[in-house]
Structure 1
């Protein structure tokens, strides 16, 4: 319980620090935020009216506390460019971005563990060199460029999937679970392959270190092959470094959706953020960035809890 409370306290303090950093970065931009939103040709009266509407006539600390109170209530204000509540916009777009990131993360874990286990099982042989060569190639390929290649191959050439767009999750509107997942498959692969290349190399290194442990030699002495010993015992003991890196990679996947959603014209959170920046909709930008930061911190919080569950020694050191 002490371990959980300490991790929860760190999470709350980090969220508070992130909110202050996000608010300050956008609030202290050079120039008048209302003038930035309205444009340089807007009349002064309109700029002054918008400044009062946004509360810019109040001190910064007052506006920051008002924003925190709105976050606690779920009232994020109105989007200037969309004329709709920001909370509704974020909720609608998150229904696409979060499944996309989770699907990409699942593909990343499956591909990376399989590749890392195969390379470690065939250390120094053709299979090992092949996997390491492919991961080196994956590290060099940007996800947006890979996404465009996937569109050209599977949408334009083979016509197996649509080049972009999202039908939605509701069957009433012509979508559904399978059409939605089908539309997210290529973007998820484009995001996953780059991250899987990184995780596969870490998985191989961790498994090779574990293969030298005494319990692994005992497993081999009992008749298990190198592959079987690594699969049954090695992967579980390599979980902690892989979980740590996986949590960091989820942050990269969320950031990568901003580009990938524009490549595949997906109406997700990343595309909303890009449009909000183009439209100078600072209210949407501020709350959207805060949401992304909160998601990353929550994932890292979950990773910390999994660390304590996998290795009770971590909990013991924290509670001591």
Structure 2
């Protein structure tokens, strides 16, 4: 079996397992969505109303039957109706997903583009200014929660200096969230790239390249870039996973109507179709990402020595 076929089979199998586990966990959540809806909508709490809502939302059917029905409809593009809004879940997600993906992908795209030159110059002059700055940035970003840093930047840049316009629905409202995602990934990827470049400088072939007349920068790029890039791509997978959770938190913080904020609003209402769809979207995002990284590493071949 070829590598793409193995990755596809593993991805589909993982999605099925995740869907079953998520459906079981969400169904076992405390509190009844029918009781929550009755309180929120001021409906009479008589037996007929409760039975009608449970039948409408298929909560009166056995677990396996509900899961099979949901899975069959989900793969056909029918993600159900939101308990809270009464709108099709797929339409709600399609409306909000572009903003979330723009924010996450923009931050993740900026990070490696900046990490390569910063990591290279940090490795070129260990203990130099760039090396110390990237080390300090990595320690700071890992120690400070992104929400806290977002609040500080929001106050300083938006309120005091008025350089940005937060809470707007145009592209300017995305500047800070994208910057925070990029900053976290940049700090990690830069140090990973720099670390593996320095490992190359300790190898005999690097000293041989210097003896043949190559400058340190030329030898480092020619013999170390592929080695360090391999490690950075592997680390990128973890950063992309981190971005999933951070986008939800940043959407709430900056008032952005993405799927993360939609999820937070749906948790309190025990909106099962929305919660299940969110789990599947996130699982698909992570599995497709892992598959892409695996294909990329397979295309690069064995890790350079």
- Secondary structure of the equivalent of 2:81? coil
- Pairing partner for 1:87 from 90, 107, 110: 90
Q: Is the 8 A contact 2:27 2:272 kept in 1?
A: no
- Pairing partner for 2:217 from 227, 231, 235: 227
Structure 1: segments with no counterpart, 5+ residues: 168-179, 315-320
- Secondary structure of the equivalent of 1:80? coil
The 1:9/1:159 distance shift into structure 2, 3 A limit, reads same
Give the alignment's TM-score, normalised by structure 1: 0.86
Q: Is the 8 A contact 1:76 1:86 kept in 2?
A: yes
1:153 Cα deviation after fit: 2.5
1:177-215, Cα deviation, whole Å (9 max, x unpaired): xxx2x3322111112212322222222221111222344
1:93 Cα deviation after fit: 0.7
The 1:31/1:260 distance shift into structure 2, 3 A limit, reads closer
Partners of 2:71 and 2:208 in 1: how far apart? 56
Partner of 1:173: none
Partner of 1:184: 174
Q: Which shifted more, 70-79 or 191-200?
A: 191-200
- Secondary structure of the equivalent of 1:224? coil
Q: Is the 8 A contact 1:37 1:281 kept in 2?
A: no
1:83 Cα deviation after fit: 1.6
Q: Does 1:295 align with 2:285?
A: yes
Partners of 2:212 and 2:82 in 1: how far apart? 65
1:49-68 paired onto structure 2 within 5 Å: 49-68=52-71
1:26-41 paired onto structure 2 within 5 Å: 26-39=26-39
Q: Which shifted more, 36-45 or 212-221?
A: 36-45
Partners of 2:215 and 2:264 in 1: how far apart? 51
The 1:2/1:134 distance shift into structure 2, 3 A limit, reads same
1:25 Cα deviation after fit: 0.7
Partners of 1:281 and 1:162 in 2: how far apart? 33
Q: Is the 8 A contact 2:200 2:223 kept in 1?
A: no
Partner of 1:140: 143
1:45 Cα deviation after fit: 2.8
Partners of 1:100 and 1:186 in 2: how far apart? 10
1:266 Cα deviation after fit: 0.8
Partners of 1:218 and 1:58 in 2: how far apart? 72
Partner of 1:199: 189
Partners of 1:235 and 1:223 in 2: how far apart? 19
1:1-320 paired onto structure 2 within 5 Å: 2-39=2-39, 43=45, 44-167=47-170, 180=171, 182-311=172-301, 313=302
1:101-153, Cα deviation, whole Å (9 max, x unpaired): 01110122133333322221112444423321222112111111121222223
Moved over 6 A (4+): none
Q: CA RMSD in A?
A: 2.1
1:259 Cα deviation after fit: 0.8
Partners of 1:221 and 1:71 in 2: how far apart? 62
Partners of 2:38 and 2:188 in 1: how far apart? 43
Q: How many residues align?
A: 300
Give the alignment's TM-score, normalised by structure 2: 0.90
Q: Is the 8 A contact 2:194 2:228 kept in 1?
A: no
The 1:37/1:195 distance shift into structure 2, 3 A limit, reads farther
Q: Is the 8 A contact 1:18 1:293 kept in 2?
A: yes
The 1:23/1:37 distance shift into structure 2, 3 A limit, reads farther
Q: Is the 8 A contact 2:33 2:271 kept in 1?
A: no
